[in-house]
Amino acid sequence: MKSGKIEGVIAEFENPAALIDAAEKMRDSEYTRFDCHSPFPIHGMDKAMGEKRSVLGWIVAPVAFLMVLVGFLFEGWTSTIAYPLVISGKPLFSYQAYGAVAFALMVLTSAGTALFGMLALNKLPRFHHPVFYSDRFAKVTDDAFFVSIEAKDAKFDEKETVEFLKSIGGREIELLIADD
Amino acid sequence: MKFDAAAFKLTDLNSVQVRSLGIGVLGLLLTVVGYFTKTEQFFFSYLTAYLFWVSIALGALFLVLLFHLTGTVWGVTLRRILETLMKVLPYMAIFFIPVLLGAHHLYEWSHVDVVAADPILSKKTSYLNITFFAIRTAFYFTVWYLIAAKLYKTSLAMDGGAKPEHIKTLKKVSAPGMIIFALTTTFASFDWIMSLYPHWYSTIFGLYFFSGGLVGTLTLVIVIGLYMNKRGAMDSVITVEHYHDLAKFTFGFIIFWGYMGFSQYLLIWYANIPEETIFYLDRWRGTWPIITMTVVLGHFLIPFVGLLSRNSKRNYTYLKYMSIFILIMHWVDIFWLVIPVLHTSGVRFCIFDFTAMAGIGGIFMWLFWKQLGKHAAVPMGDPKFEESLKHHNP
Amino acid sequence: MSVSVQETAATTVFEEPPLIGGKPTFSSITEKISGIVEGKTKKAWFVLFGLASSLALILFGSIGFLFYEGIGIWGINNPVGWGWAIVNFVFWVGIGHAGTLISAVLFIFRQKWRTSINRFAEAMTLFAVICALVFPGIHVGRVWMAYFMFPIPNQMQMWPNFRSPLLWDVFAVGTYFTVSLMFWYTGLIPDLATLRDRAKARFRKIMFGIFSLGWRGGNKQWKNYELAYLLLAGLSTPLVLSVHSVVSTDFATSVIPGWHSTIFPPYFVAGAIFSGFAMVLTLAIIARKIYGLEHILTIRHFEKMNMVIMVTGMMVGYAYSMEFFIAWYSGNEYETFTFLNRAFGQYAWAYWIMISCNVLIPQLFWFKKIRTNIPAMFIISIFVNIGMWFERFVITVTSLANDFLPSSWDYFSPTIFDISMLVGSFGLFFSLFLLFIRFLPMVSMAEIKGVLPQADPHYYKKHE
């Protein structure tokens, strides 16, 4: 066994159904800093883990509303105050014509917020994480299902946690130890 | 109203039927007074109300066709309600008779002397004349009847156990049915509404009319569903998940309608050709801007914002009021299309606008409830029915 | 699942066959798709890439000459000021639309069959939009003034004209490209992580490691990821409708008969989806053949795409007939003339190519035999591509060549540079596409796994 600080533990589960069952048991236990890893999102996992709905929508919506307004005002400002010029007999403040650009700005900024907001909520990019100490864990992006518990969890105990994972059906339980 | 959850049948519909019929008959009788007192107003009010209800029945026909073509799962449990609305469509042919009789009051192109003096209108006489107008309308209703009857009958036949032939028939009727639906609805909107201004034209008009009607259908289904649920009927077969999806569709088609309306407006505004701008100028005269802005806000912005969030689509009370609001706005939209031809100087509501709505609406709903009570209220034999009940929104 | 009153023999009759053929497991999907990227480069790839990149060089060469000589090297003349450049622009933007439609709109409508095709349809979008952006870029003539198109504060105190549809284009297409790129990248993250975890060589590991951002596949991440994906899909859906609508306003806000028609925005959108699906089909058939993806891209996927092509083709047909009817109904002699002229005038050949390819030929998809026959659909998809290019040609050129003033009527003939740029743009498109299928997973592994029956936790209870 490698020496070094234990930073967490992972246990493998056979299939999505087993992972869901494990997640439910994790939820009902006192562990909080755990996660269920899978190659694809599993339907019903949020409920099984007791996760709340993502807050991302509440970040994107205000940006969207704000940017429509900004778009309209900016277009109005440039064509009436900053650079008034009559073109094809249209009124300077032709709000009818401003929709397309205001909409494009709104979509652009909200999509950016959705992507970068998602990364921020997931604390990504993060290239260094205890789960990567395990070589087996590489299979999580192929066909393996894992539960991980971080050592920072208040209830974490080297022995007890391993036992607990065993009791909920985990196999190939591995302690995550810094190896470099 | 009672619901037999085993046979999926609605019983004790008497009270709602009698009420609908009562409102309908009373409404029609009051409207007839208008014929004698204010003949022109009578016909315009009648046409508005008529178009409102026809557009809803057409929207139901469209949704049934769409469900069959795409093999939609979630909507199967709602399909009988839609089919019943669609089944009322052929009856609306009878209600067209007053429009035909009043064509002279409604449509400028029916005046031979006016047309003869107008070089543009005289070019159109081969299309815009009373005989051909009547023939076309008769044709629309005939094909709508044929499609609706076939779909309804086959769907009923499945109640006793679905056979692969049923599904095949439904698909076979729906595919060409959709094409016929698109063309007939478009030309119906040209004939009935666009030709109110015989000089005006817009290639998108058919889509505009259709999308507005579809919004009406979806919200009416929500209202009917919630009405039945409140009385303890159908709550096992129409769940919050189905309302959620109906609301999503409503939201989507609100945007679709807005898109059509805005495309038409933007292009006409931008090109600024007098023949076309007349339509919007008439709706910007006197007090008409109030109604125009009501349509923009009430038929697009308010429902758009109001149905944006997930919770708004799943809260019954909220959804009920929002749907009723959108239905009213759909009527305002039709009002906005039709009435400016009559009251050019400014908005004028008339009691007959409302009595005609109640009159045709009452009879429409009476026919609906009568038909719905005759058979199972859901297509219980449909192979996707069970799955539809278990449907979940992520 | 044990429920149901009605689970009779009939239920099984109507059950649809599985989406992914063979007996796929999670790891067989990973193996298949990653294998393409990790394996040796096929000879066919080199041949195709050599061909495509030579054509792309022709494009770059022509553009170079255009910068030197000016846009007079094209066949544009006095009434026809908008020639093939705008035709190609609209054509390529249109192609792009299918990608977003598949990835966003079908996602919102929960159409699971999209998972096999969405990744490379999205990639196709990006490359098509790149090709599209080339043309208005070089069409401005003085490219060094191109920054005028952006609202950049400058010493002349000028601002762009926000009332111009051409400026809307800049914003719409620019946004479209950026958002498509973000959407595509979001979808790629889990798959890049797969490639990272499989990579043997250090360089690959580092590159995929960087771009997969340290993805761990934890549900606390999936939760935000899925919502982000849904939001991006929700934003892309109106965006895709708006982009081609804005492109259509380039024509429709004018007063030119044949251009000014209120149905243009939805009509262009339908046409865009139509042409884009045809292009997806063309590419998918080739890629499937070369890389042996028969289990992942099944005949069922193709059948569904063919139905979309048929439906959108009919929408386009609907728009053609509305335009024609209203041209007569309007009683406007210019409108009437324009449409009769399109059908029977000097460009009648182009018009009838358009009608046959877009309206008549796709009707063959009514027959299930043709809908499920790969060579037949391949040929039809090519016809649709041709037809949709001609549609833009007919719209652009016929309305300009015979305008209000008969004395200035003229006939448009392309020059060698018109042709070299069109052909060259195909080269650019295919070069980019080939690079993509060589280096990135062309099918979304995470999403395919998510629609396999064994991805559903209920699957195991049923099979116990």
The boundaries of the domain holding residue A155 are 1-20+31-39+145-180
C119-141 pLDDT tens trace: 888 999 999 999 999 998 888 87
The Cα–Cα gap between B185 and B205 comes to 10
Residue A174 in any domain: the answer is yes
Using pLDDT thresholds of 50, 70 and 90, give the confidence band for residue C10: very low
- Mean pLDDT within C252-263: 92
* Domains: count for chain A: 2
Residue C184 in any domain: the answer is yes
Helix H or strand E segment including C107: helix C106-108
pLDDT of residue A131: 85
**Percent residues over pLDDT 70 in chain A:** 97
C159, C193, C225: residue with CB nearest A83: C159
Structure tokens belonging to residue B357? 């709505």
**Model ipTM value:** 0.92
pLDDT of residue C2: 33
**Percent residues over pLDDT 90 in chain C:** 58
What's the alpha-carbon Rg for chain C, to the nearest Å?
24
Whether C463 shows a pLDDT value over 60: the answer reads no
> Which residues of chain C from 19 to 38 reach within 8 Å of chain A, CB to CB?
25-27, 30
**Contact C248/C268 with Cβ under 8 angstroms?**
yes
Q: What angle do CA C112, C432, C101 make, to 5 degrees?
A: 30
**Quick check: B394 and A43 CB within 8 A?**
yes
Residue C9 in any domain: the answer is no
* A115 and A171 co-located in one domain: no
The Cα–Cα gap between A81 and B12 comes to 68
Cβ neighbours of A45 in C, within 8 Å: 219, 222
pLDDT of residue A3: 61
Whether B19 shows a pLDDT value over 90: the answer reads yes
Reported pTM? 0.91
B53-89 pLDDT tens trace: 999 999 999 999 999 998 888 889 999 999 999 999 9
A85 touches chain C (CB under 8 A): yes
Among B324, B314, B148, B308, which residue's Cα sits nearest to residue B224?
A: B324
pLDDT of residue C9: 38
The Cα–Cα gap between B142 and C115 comes to 42
The Cα–Cα gap between B75 and B393 comes to 13
* Domains: count for chain C: 1
Whether C464 shows a pLDDT value over 60: the answer reads no
Give CA B244 to chain center in angstroms. 21
* A113 and A151 co-located in one domain: no
Domain edge (last residue) among A75, A105, A121: A121
Q: Searching chain B, which residue's CA lies closest to the CA of residue A97?
A: B266
Size of interface A-C (CB pairs under 8 A): 219
Residue with tokens 């591509």: C385
- Mean pLDDT within B341-369: 93
In order of A89, B273, B324, C123, C154, the CA distances from A86 in angstroms are 6, 19, 44, 41, 20
In order of B54, B238, B332, B376, the CA distances from B57 in angstroms are 5, 21, 18, 20
Q: What own/partner pairs with CB < 8 Å and gap ≥ 24 does B389-392 have?
A: B389/B77, B389/B237, B389/B239, B390/C3, B391/B73, B391/B74, B391/B241, B391/B242, B391/B245, B392/B241
Helix H or strand E segment including A46: helix A45-49
The Cα–Cα gap between C280 and C98 comes to 7
Residue C280 in any domain: the answer is yes
C425 or C142, greater pLDDT = C425
* A72 and A101 co-located in one domain: yes
Number of Cβ within a 10 Å radius of residue B101: 12
* A113 and A153 co-located in one domain: no
Q: Searching chain C, which residue's CA lies closest to the CA of residue B120?
A: C331
Using pLDDT thresholds of 50, 70 and 90, give the confidence band for residue B191: very high
pLDDT of residue B185: 96
How much is the mean pLDDT over chain C? 88
**Quick check: B266 and A43 CB within 8 A?**
no
Structure tokens belonging to residue B301? 């912005």
Residue A180 in any domain: the answer is yes
In order of C53, C62, C428, the CA distances from C57 in angstroms are 6, 8, 8
The Cα–Cα gap between C258 and C323 comes to 8
3-state SS assignment for residue B1: coil
Residue C345 in any domain: the answer is yes
Structure tokens belonging to residue B218? 């979806």
Domain edge (last residue) among A121, A136, A161: A121
A92 touches chain C (CB under 8 A): no
The Cα–Cα gap between B209 and B193 comes to 9
The Cα–Cα gap between B8 and B237 comes to 9
C449 touches chain A (CB under 8 A): yes
**Quick check: B164 and C318 CB within 8 A?**
no
- Mean pLDDT within B259-271: 94
The boundaries of the domain holding residue C126 are 34-143+157-449
* A102 and A64 co-located in one domain: yes
A127 or C128, greater pLDDT = C128
Whether C13 shows a pLDDT value over 60: the answer reads no
Whether C4 shows a pLDDT value over 50: the answer reads no
Whether C5 shows a pLDDT value over 60: the answer reads no
In this structure, the strands spanning B2-4 and A6-13 are unpaired
Residue C6 in any domain: the answer is no
Residue A35 in any domain: the answer is yes
Structure tokens belonging to residue A58? 């509440």
The Cα–Cα gap between B194 and B198 comes to 7
DSSP B376: B
**Quick check: B271 and C14 CB within 8 A?**
no
pLDDT of residue C213: 92
B274 touches chain A (CB under 8 A): no
Using pLDDT thresholds of 50, 70 and 90, give the confidence band for residue B145: very high
Structure tokens belonging to residue C443? 């099918």
Residue C463 in any domain: the answer is no
Using pLDDT thresholds of 50, 70 and 90, give the confidence band for residue B91: very high
- Mean pLDDT within C372-401: 94
Q: Searching chain B, which residue's CA lies closest to the CA of residue A42?
A: B394
User: By a Cβ cutoff of 8 Å, what residues of chain C touch chain B?
Assistant: 3-8, 10-11, 13-14, 165, 238, 241, 245, 249, 252-255, 260-266, 314, 318-319, 321-323, 326, 329-332, 366
Q: Which of the residues A101, A113, A150 would you substitute to probe the C interface, choosing the one with the greatest number of C C-beta atoms within 10 Å? A: A101
Whether A47 shows a pLDDT value over 90: the answer reads no
Residue A47 in any domain: the answer is no
Phi, psi (rounded to 5 degrees) for B6 = -80, -45
Structure tokens belonging to residue C210? 């960087």
* A74 and A115 co-located in one domain: yes
**Contact C252/C261 with Cβ under 8 angstroms?**
yes
Q: How far is A96 from chain B, CA to nearest CA, in Å? A: 7
Residue A2 in any domain: the answer is yes
Residue C297 in any domain: the answer is yes
B266, B308, B394: residue with CB nearest A96: B266
C138-194 pLDDT tens trace: 888 788 888 888 898 888 888 998 989 999 999 999 999 999 999 999 999 999 999
Residue A134 in any domain: the answer is no
Using pLDDT thresholds of 50, 70 and 90, give the confidence band for residue A137: confident
pLDDT of residue A180: 54
C330-383 pLDDT tens trace: 988 899 999 999 999 999 999 999 999 999 999 999 999 999 999 999 999 999
**Contact C239/C176 with Cβ under 8 angstroms?**
yes
The Cα–Cα gap between C367 and C377 comes to 11
The Cα–Cα gap between B392 and C458 comes to 14
Show which subunits contact A, needing at least 3 CB pairs below 8 angstroms: B, C
Alpha helix (H) residue ranges in chain B: 14-37, 39-70, 79-88, 92-101, 103-106, 112-117, 119-123, 130-159, 164-192, 205-230, 240-271, 274-282, 288-296, 302-306, 310-314, 316-338, 351-374, 385-389
- Mean pLDDT within A133-162: 86
* A75 and A110 co-located in one domain: yes
